[in-house]
A and B are shown apart, each in its own frame.
Chain A
């Protein structure tokens, strides 16, 4: 389908409906445990009232097209959930930094980190 001849000044990058597109990849893959956890984190965050799927989408859109090209689907979700949780005051950037440091100190493998 070709784009209409009317220009859409101000159309944002993620608003792709009607734009030229390549083939649709239909390959599937099993989700990793961390991807399932990110999905669960979104459900928990929404259930607890920290933010909604609309907040998730808003940050995904604000990341811009570079993130769409360089990050995987759940990597983008992880970044958006984190941004929304900080905005909601669930934790601070400093608390996040401390926690990341603690987890990293447990070891490099999933098993080491989970067993800490």
Chain B
């Protein structure tokens, strides 16, 4: 886990399009940091409709349970990793004072 000051924080876009997406709703609008870049993969949101998938960077993003669930988190320091395509991510400030 990189030192807090070297983390690249990303916020998951809070969009809710009605079609097929691979970004879970409970992470939308939440901020984590890039654990690693997994490489380019074709966009599943295009593949799902029979189109060629544009190659996008897939990121493994690490969130703290506290940042996802707020006061409801049972163990706020526990982390959760999710693999999210780059078009769902935008650079962000750390979500809380650390």
Contact = CB atoms under 8 A, between A and B. Distances in A.
Interface residues of B, number: 23
A57 B74 CA distance: 31
Given A4-B70, A11-B16, A17 B48 contact: no
A2 B16 contact: no
B24 interface: yes
Contacts of A4: 26, 68-70, 72
A58 interface: yes
B50 A88 contact: yes
A10 B48 contact: no
A15 B20 contact: no
Nearest to B24: A17
B50 A9 contact: no
Contacts of A10: 16-18
Nearest to B68: A4
* Most chain B Cβ neighbours within 10 Å, of A9, A12, A54, A88: A54
Nearest to A89: B50
Interface in B54-91: 68-70, 72, 74
B50 A8 contact: no
Nearest to B71: A5
Contacts of A8: 16, 25-26, 28
Contact of A6 (B18, B29, B44, B48): B29
Given A1-B74, A8-B16, A15 B44 contact: no
A52 B41 CA distance: 13
Given A4-B72, A11-B25, A55-B50, 4 more contacts: A11-B16, A17-B25, A55-B48, A55-B49
